[in-house]
Amino acid sequence: MVFSDSIKGDFDGDRKPEYLWVKTIPDSIPVDSCTILCSNSSIPPFRFQAMGCSLSNEGDLDNNRADEVTVNSWAEGAWGVITVYAFRKGKWIETIERFSVYGPDGHTDYVKKGPGKGEATIIRETWGQHGEFAVETKTVKLK
């Protein structure tokens, strides 16, 4: 997984490539906001509040021929929030419950296809416990 401010993929499953990119509005009220835009006008933009973000194409996690998108929203210090989105039935949906990560741990492989059929995926999540950081791997169902 490589995070960037723009990515290429097939996000609607039509077997044609689209491009997603981040538009950040600094100093917006009440807080900074990010908008994810698409080169395909039939895929609507989506907006959320964050100080900044980056994108990663996760490939087709749920075997529906459309790629999922991971958004790494920057939070306080080195902390970030990972959210996975899919474009389904004309709208963007959050497919995995958001989770926090700690940036300097060297991990970028936060989400990948899971061992189970269809909508299973693996999340690698870093978290603080007793002042130390560890990596937890677990399997969850995509929504």
| Whole-angstrom distance, CA of residue 69 vs CA of residue 65 | 13
R_g (Cα) of the chain, nearest Å = 15
Residues with pLDDT less than 50, the chain: none
| Whole-angstrom distance, CA of residue 118 vs CA of residue 60 | 10
| Whole-angstrom distance, CA of residue 122 vs CA of residue 72 | 16
Q: What is the pLDDT of residue 99?
A: 82
Q: What is the pLDDT of residue 5?
A: 87
The structure's pTM equals 0.83
* 65 contacts: CB under 8 Å, gap ≥ 6: 10, 13, 15
pLDDT in tens, 21-35: 998 776 655 556 788
Distance of CA 121 to the CA centre of its chain: 13
What is the residue-averaged pLDDT of the chain?
Answer: 81
Q: What is the pLDDT of residue 117?
A: 66
Pairing of strands 68-74, 53-59: antiparallel
